[in-house]
Structure 1
Amino acid sequence: MKSDQPQFSIVGDVSVDLVLGTLDGWPKIGTERLLPRSELRAGGSAANSALAARHLGLSPHLIGAIGDDDLAQWLLLQLAGIRIELQTCSSDTTMSVGLMHPDGERTFFTSCGHLQHLSPDFVLKHLPPAPHGSVALFTSPFLLSGLREGFGELLAQASARGYQVALDTGWPPEGWTSQVQREVAGWLAHCDHLLVNELEAMSIAETQELELAVQRVAALLKPGAHLIVKLGAAGALGHVDGRSTRYATEAAAEIFDTVGAGDSFNTGYLAARLNGAGLDDALAAGCRTAGAILPRFPRKSIAAGELSHCLQPHS
C-alpha cells in the first residue's frame, strides 16, 4: 500500500466469541440443553469490523490486545490477512458466549479477561500520523478500562495525527448514568463520525423520541460531524449540518446470527467514506455490508474480498 493512501485503522476490543442457538426459553438451573448450531470465532467489535473489512477486500489496521494463553494463539490464526498490532497482556483471553433466541434477540455472557489491560501508550505507538482522509474507528471504550480514563485525550491525539475519528460507543455495563452521559459528551466533541444504534442515541440524549435524540446528540459533536444511527432491520439514519437522511432496507429473510451486525455496518459505511462516497451512498454501503454478512453461518466461511460488491454504488 502506498504511504499516501488513506488508512483505515480500528482500535478496540478483540476477543473470542462462542455463538450458540437457538435457545427457546431459559433452562432450569442444573439442567443441560443441546443446541443445534454453534461457531467459535474471533469476536469483539473491533475484530468484527476488521474481519468485515477483510471480507470487502480492504486492508485494515487492527490495534488491540490479546491474552497470554492458548486461546490467544488460536485467535491470532483467525485474523490472518489483517495487519494487526495486539498488546499481549498477562491475562486469560476474554471470551463471550452469545446465545441466540428465536425472536432475534441475543444474550451474552462475557469474561473480564485481557480487555481491561489495553494501554493508551500501546495504541498511540501503533497509530502514526496518517495521510489526509484516513479514518480511525474506536470501539467499545466501556470494556477497555485501561483506555477509558483518558479516552477523550486519546481521541484528540488521533485527530491531531490526521485521522477522521469514528466512534461506536457500545453499551456501558453500569447503564447510562448521569456520570456516563457526561463522560460520553466529552468524547463526542472529538468525533467526525459517531456510529450508534437507536437505543444508544436515545440513552445519550435522555429521550424516547428519536428525532429529538438526533438533534441533541448532534449538538454534542464537532462542527460538520456525521451522526449515524443504526436502525436494525429498518436501515440507518444519517445526520449532518442540521439535515437528516434515511436509508431503508428491504425485508430480509430470517437471520439466525445477528452478532456483529452494527460492526459490519460500521465498516461498510466508513469504507465507502474512505472511497469518497457521500452520506447517502455510505449509508447504503453500510446496510449492504451488514446484509451480506449476517445471513452467512458460519462466518468463517466468507472468503477475503468476497463481498467487495457491497461498496459499489447502486443505481
Structure 2
Amino acid sequence: MSAPVAPGGGLLVVGDVVTDVVARHTEPLAPDTDTAARIALRPGGAGANVACWAASRGAAVRLLARVGADSADWHRAELRSAGVEPVLRIDPELPTAMVIALVDAAAERTLVTDSGASLRLGPADWAEELLDGAGHVHLSGYLFFSAPGRELAAVVAGSARARGLPVSVDPASAGFIRQLGVARFLDAVAGTDLLLPNAAEAALLSGRSEPALAAAELSARCGGEVVVTLGAGGALAAARGRLAARVPAVAAGAVDTTGAGDAFTGGLLAARLSGADLPSALAAGCRTGAAAVAVVGGRPR
C-alpha cells in the first residue's frame, strides 16, 4: 500500500463537469404554484469542484472529464480561469451534465441530476500521459455509477498504482450508491488509499451510524485511510481500523452548502501534496469547506 498522498507532484482528477442551476428559496417549496427564488447558473461537478478548490490552495491540477458540445467552451474557460488544466472529451450526442440545486433558507441543498455526457466517460477517454507529473490521483465517486465509468476507474487506478501513485475516491452520493448496491460499490473501490465519504455515505457503506466507528470499519475493510466529513461537526479520520485524527469545523456564514464536501477534499489533497500531516490536512479541508459555504455554487470565487 502506497502512502495516502505522496508529497510533491500535481493532482490528477478524473470525474465530472456539470452545469449547476442554483435556486435559493427562503420559503418552503409550494406545490402547484410559484416559489420565489434567486437563481444563478454556475459551473460545477464534483470532480471539477475538487480540482478548482485544490488549485485555489496552490496545487497543480489536471482534470479529465466528458462534456457536451453545448457548453464545452464555457466550461473549459472556467476551469482555466480557476487554474486547472482541463482535458475535456466532447460527447457528439449528449449535452453536458446538469444539476438543479434547490437551496433552502438554512443553506441546505437538494439536488436533481441529469448526468448527461458524464455517464459516457470511459476507457476510450484515457491516456497514460495524463499521469505525467502527478503525485496523486483522485476519482470522483460518480464514475462508479455507470459501467464505462467503473471500467475507467479500474484502468486509472491500475495505471496509478503501477507508477506508485496513491488513489483517493469520494463516494459522492448515498442515493446512487443504494441504486448500485453497497457491496458492488465497495468491491469497485477496494484497495483505495484514501476514501472520503460524508457521514451519511459512511453509515451506508459500513452499516454503522456513529461516524468514528463507521470510519474505523471502512478503513479496516478497504485497507487505506478513511476521512469522514461531519458538516458543522468538522471531520475525522481512521486508519487500520482505528480513529487516527479528529478536527473541529471552522465557523462560517453559510449561504449555500453546494460543493462543500468537494471543497474539503480539494483543500485536504492540496495540503497533503504540500507535505502536511493528516491532522493538518483535515484542518485545511475544514477551512476550505468553510470558504465554500460562503459563496453561491460549488467553486471558489
Could you state the TM-score of these two structures normalised by the residue count of structure 2? 0.87
Q: State the shift of 1:234 in Å.
A: 1.2
- The answer to whether the Cα contact below 8 Å between 1:15 and 1:43 also exists between their aligned partners in 2 is yes
Which residue, 122, 125, 128 being the options, matches 2:125?
122
Q: Which ranges in structure 2 are unaligned for 5 or more consecutive residues?
A: 1-6
Q: Which SS does the other structure have where 1:227 is aligned? A: strand
Q: Deviations over 1:88-107 (max 9, x none)?
A: 11211111111101233211
C-alpha displacement at 1:154, in angstroms?
3.7
Structure 2 counterpart SS, 1:220:
helix
Aligned to 1:55: 56
Question: Which of 5, 8, 12 is residue 11 of structure 2 equivalent to?
Answer: 8
- 2: CA distance, partners of 1:123 / 1:61: 13
- Residue 112 of structure 1, CA deviation: 3.1
Q: Deviations over 1:231-281 (max 9, x none)?
A: 11111001123343210124433x111111000000111111111111110
Deviation at 1:116, TM superposition (A): 1.0
Task: Name the count of aligned residue pairs.
Answer: 290
Q: Where do residues 1-315 of structure 1 align in structure 2 (5 Å cutoff)?
A: 6-29=9-32, 31-35=33-37, 37-69=38-70, 71-80=71-80, 81-90=83-92, 91-128=94-131, 134-139=135-140, 140-149=142-151, 151-171=153-173, 173-176=175-178, 180-222=181-223, 225-241=224-240, 242-253=242-253, 255-297=254-296, 302=301
Q: 1:141 aligns to what SS in structure 2?
A: helix
Q: Secondary structure, in 3 states, of the residue corresponding to 2:181?
A: helix
How far off is 1:147 after superposition?
A: 1.3
The structure showing larger relative contact order (alpha-carbon pairs under 8 Å, at least 6 residues apart) is 2
Separation in 1, partners of 2:68, 2:54: 23
Task: For residue 288 of structure 1, give the secondary structure of its aligned residue in structure 2.
Answer: helix
- 1:228 Cα deviation (Å)? 0.3
Shift of 1:161: 2.7
CA RMSD of aligned residues (A): 2.3
Task: Return the offset for 1:129.
Answer: 5.1
With 275-284 and 159-168 compared, the bigger mean Cα shift is at 159-168
Name segments (4+ residues, structure 1) moved above 6 Å. Answer: 298-301
After the TM superposition, which of the residue ranges 154-163 and 164-173 deviates more from structure 2? 154-163
Cα gap change, 1:300 to 1:287, in 2 (>3 Å):
closer
TM-score (norm 1): 0.84
Gaps of 5+ in 1: 303-315
Cα distance, 1:149 vs structure 2: 4.6
Letter in 1 for 2:60: S
Q: For residues 58 and 144 of structure 1, what CA distance do their matches in structure 2 show?
A: 29
Q: Post-superposition shift, 1:291? A: 1.2
Paired letter, 1:257:
D
SS in 2 for 1:17: strand
Distance in 2 (alpha carbons) for counterparts of 1:78 and 1:295: 20
Looking at CA atoms only, which structure, 1 or 2, has the larger radius of gyration? 1
In structure 2, distance between residues paired with 1:285 and 1:264: 10
CA distance in 2, matches of 1:301, 1:262: 13
Q: Give the distance between the partners of 2:90 and 2:73, measured in 1 at CA.
A: 11
Q: How far apart in 2 are the matches of 1:208 and 1:158? A: 33
How far residue 188 of structure 1 moved from its aligned partner, in angstroms, is 3.4
Deviation larger for 256-265 or 15-24: 15-24
Q: Which amino acid aligns with 1:46?
A: G
Do the aligned partners of residues 24 and 267 (structure 1) sit closer, same or farther apart at CA in structure 2, a change above 3 Å counting? same
SS in 2 for 1:88: strand
Amino acid at match of 1:193: L
Tell me, yes or no, if the aligned pair for 1:142 and 1:172 is still in contact at 8 Å: no
The residue matched to 2:116 in structure 1 has which SS?
coil
The residue identity in structure 2 corresponding to 1:128 is L
Contact 1:115 1:144 in 2 (8 A): no
Identity %: 31
- 1:209/1:296 CA distance change after superposition, 3 Å: closer
The 2-side partners of 1:250 and 1:277 are apart by 18
